[in-house]
Amino acid sequence: MADTKAPSASASTPLRPLKSKADAKAVLLRRARELALVPALFVVMVIGTIVNDAFLTENNLISILGSSAALAMVVLAEALVLITGKFDLSLESVVGIAPAVGALLVLPAAKSGFGTDLPTWLAMVAILLVGAAIGAFNGFLVVKLKLNAFIVTLAMLIILRGVLVGATEGKTLFDMPDAFFSMATTTFLHVPISVWLAAVAFAVAGVVLRYHRVGRALYAIGGNPEAARAAGIRVDRVMLGVFITAGLLAAVGGIMKTGYVGAISANQGQNMIFTVFAAAVIGGISLDGGKGTMFGALTGVLLLGVVDNVLTQAQVQAHWIQAIYGGIILVALMIARVTTGRAQD
Whether the predicted pLDDT of 7 surpasses 50: no
When pLDDT is averaged across residues 77-86 and rounded to a whole number, the result is 96
Where are the domains positioned within the chain?
A: 36-340
- In the predicted structure, residue 32 carries a pLDDT above the cut 80: no
pLDDT score for 125: 96
Banded model confidence at residue 343, pLDDT cuts 50, 70, 90? low
Percent of the chain whose pLDDT exceeds 90: 63
Average pLDDT, the chain: 87
Using the predicted structure, report yes or no on whether residue 2 has a pLDDT greater than 50: no
Kindly state the average pLDDT of the residues 250-272. 94
pLDDT at res. 202 = 97
Per residue in 120-163, pLDDT (tens digit) is 999 999 999 999 999 999 999 999 999 999 999 999 999 999 99
Q: Please name the fold of domain 36-340.
A: ABC transporter involved in vitamin B12 uptake, BtuC (1.10.3470)
Which of the four pLDDT bands, split at 50, 70 and 90, describes residue 1?
Answer: very low
Quick one: pLDDT band at residue 30, thresholds 50, 70, 90? Answer: low
**d(C-alpha 103, C-alpha 62), whole Å:** 27
Residue 23 has pLDDT above 90, yes or no: no
- pTM of the predicted model as reported, rounded to 2 decimal places: 0.88
Give the pLDDT confidence score for residue 315 in this predicted structure: 84
Q: At residue 25, does pLDDT exceed 90?
A: no
pLDDT tens sequence across 194-238? 999 999 999 999 999 999 999 999 999 999 999 999 999 999 999
Confidence at residue 41, expressed as pLDDT on a 0 to 100 scale? 86
Q: pLDDT > 70: what percent of the chain?
A: 86
